[in-house]
């Protein structure tokens, strides 16, 4: 999402450093750790481009268990509700690559479970790239990249990394002990 100063990122064989950043951004979907809101109504925040039908907006909000009038603006949402709103926003934005940046890290377990289920269902045909510290949320991912100090330490399926001595297994076991 920011300018790359070295290296290459290929998406479908296209070097994204050769494509305008706005084009790349417009083709990605993201659910951030901290939901952002623009000045305006819920409707304007849910669908900033203004292209979704009202029925789609209502359906997205119902899908994430939020009952909000899209015509009003009430900034008094709990953190969990803000994350659910961000998920509803992502549901309305078609993209084949979805970036989850600690999307459920600071919500309660019930909201996390709801969000994980919706993400798996709604984005099942998408590539999910997740920054996750709750490792149980990525156990069904195809690949896991374990980073330490900004360096790639391990890259494999979660099952393979758990089956042998690995940094991932150590982190996973530590989380199981704490819960």
DSSP letter for each residue of 69-92: -TT-------HHHHHHHHHHHHHT
37 and 78 in a single domain? The answer is yes
Could you tell me the pTM of the whole model? 0.86
pLDDT at 139: 94
* 81 inside domain: yes
* 93 inside domain: yes
144 and 122 in a single domain? The answer is no
Helices (H), the chain: 21-27, 42-46, 54-63, 79-91, 109-122, 158-162, 167-178
pLDDT at 66: 92
Rounded (5°) CA angle 4-99-6: 15
Assigned token pair, 35 = 């939901």
* 15 inside domain: no
* 64 inside domain: yes
State the CATH number of the domain containing residue 77.
Answer: 3.40.50.300
39 and 113 in a single domain? The answer is yes
166 and 113 in a single domain? The answer is no
36 and 119 in a single domain? The answer is yes
* 18 inside domain: no
Among the listed residues 179, 85, 171, 87, the one whose alpha carbon sits nearest the alpha carbon of residue 128: 87
124 and 146 in a single domain? The answer is no
Give Cβ neighbours of residue 120 (< 8 Å, ≥ 6 apart): 140
148 and 111 in a single domain? The answer is no
Q: How far apart are the first and last CA of the chain?
A: 34
pLDDT at 75: 61
88 and 167 in a single domain? The answer is no
160 and 122 in a single domain? The answer is no
105 and 86 in a single domain? The answer is yes
* 9 inside domain: no
Q: Which domain holds residue 42?
A: 28-131
The rounded distance, in Å, linking the Cα atoms of 129 and 158 is 14
107 and 32 in a single domain? The answer is yes
153 and 110 in a single domain? The answer is no
Q: What is the mean pLDDT of each run of 10 residues along the chain (179 residues)?
A: 75 88 88 88 89 94 87 74 94 93 90 95 94 90 93 96 96 86
Asked whether the beta carbons of 168 and 162 are under 8 A apart, the reply is yes
pLDDT at 127: 93
Q: How many structural domains are present in the chain?
A: 2
* 38 inside domain: yes
The tally of CA atoms less than 13 A away on the side-chain side of residue 86 is 26
* 23 inside domain: no
């Amino acid at each position: 999402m920011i300018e790359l100063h070295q290296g290459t990122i290929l998406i479908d064989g296209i070097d994204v450093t050769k494509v305008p950043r706005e084009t790349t951004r417009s083709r990605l979907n993201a659910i951030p750790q901290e939901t952002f809101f623009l000045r305006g109504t819920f409707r304007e925040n849910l669908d900033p481009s203004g292209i979704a039908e009202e029925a789609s907006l209502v359906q997205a909000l119902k899908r994430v268990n939020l009952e909000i009038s899209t015509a009003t603006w009430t900034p008094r949402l709990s953190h969990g509700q803000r994350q659910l709103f961000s998920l509803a926003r992502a549901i309305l934005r078609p993209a084949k690559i979805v970036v989850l940046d600690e999307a459920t890290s600071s919500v309660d377990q019930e909201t996390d479970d709801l969000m994980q289920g919706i993400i798996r269902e709604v984005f099942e045909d998408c590539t999910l790239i997740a920054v996750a510290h709750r490792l149980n949320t990525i156990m069904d991912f195809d690949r896991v990249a374990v980073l330490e100090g900004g360096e790639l330490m391990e890259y494999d399926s979660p099952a393979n990394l758990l089956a042998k001595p690995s940094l991932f297994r150590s982190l996973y076991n530590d989380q199981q002990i704490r819960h």
